[in-house]
Amino acid sequence: MAAALGVLIIIAFFVVIALGTSVRVLREYERGVIFRLGRLIATKGPGLILLIPLIDRMVKVDLRTVTLNIPPQDVITKDNVPARVNAVAYFRIVEPKAAIVQIENFMVATSQIAQTTLRAVLGQHVLDELLSERDKINAILQTIIDEATTPWGIKVARVEVKDLEIPSGMQQAMARQAEAERERRAKIINAEGEFQASERLKDAALVIEKHPIALQLRYLQTLLEIGGASSSTIIFPAPIDLIRPFLEHTDRTRSNGEDGGQPPRPTQSPAPPS
């Protein structure tokens, strides 16, 4: 009786082990690639999966998006500027069979292809493009990496260049260039402002030439502005029309003084012969 009980216990133990190795539960984002005696038979999941003990083997695959940090890479741009760049890639598995059968380790393979592609693509662009056309470069990286990983059942959704480190001397040169560019724009804006102001002054002069009364109105406005100032010194502008008669009288007097102050004598005609 004791021997039979021991046999039952051993059988029950092996049954529990068999059930534990033959029953699998996969989550919604997981798939199981089933191999039977080394041959690929199916991809199952999610839910309850039953396997034949000692015959079937299941490899679990996660279908969620994976964030892959690409290590910093030393690159030389097209204009011979050394730089250090790192990036991040987002990808997910769309074909679990290919991800398991076609490549040994899809994570390592994707990381390596991303590193080589990053160095190759950035080496074909100048430094200004790396700084100003980041979206274009990201799109090129995403396209190339996605084409390389498609046979492995991997879909690359996005690639982003994170940091771009350049030598300190180049940073100082870029800072001086940016400062010179800002000064150039300031001078251009100042010159354009002076040109527009001169144009308006020319228009105002033409208006005053056609309507002299506008000068008198401007004169009265200037007096009002001077009167409202708190300065102790007041400059009083006088219209030239007020002193013009005096200037003309002075000119006439000066011209008479140059002639000696004597009126011209009338010429006498000779007497007729007798």
Give the residue extent of every domain in the chain. 16-62, 66-166
Cα separation, 129 vs 136, whole angstroms: 9
pLDDT for the residue numbered 274 = 41
Element (H, E) at 157: strand 154-165
66-166 sits in which CATH class?
Answer: alpha beta
What's the pTM? Answer: 0.63
3 within 8 A of 29, measured Cβ to Cβ: no
**Would you call 84 helix, strand, or coil by DSSP?**
strand
Kindly state the greatest CA–CA separation across the chain.
Answer: 200
pLDDT above 80 for 112: yes
106 or 258: which leads in pLDDT: 106
pLDDT for the residue numbered 59 = 92
Mean pLDDT of the chain: 82
pLDDT for the residue numbered 241 = 62
Most confident of 21-30, 201-210, 221-230, 260-269: 21-30
Mean pLDDT of all residues in 209-213: 74
Identify the CA nearest to 111 among candidates 85, 132, 81, 91: 91
**Would you call 163 helix, strand, or coil by DSSP?**
strand
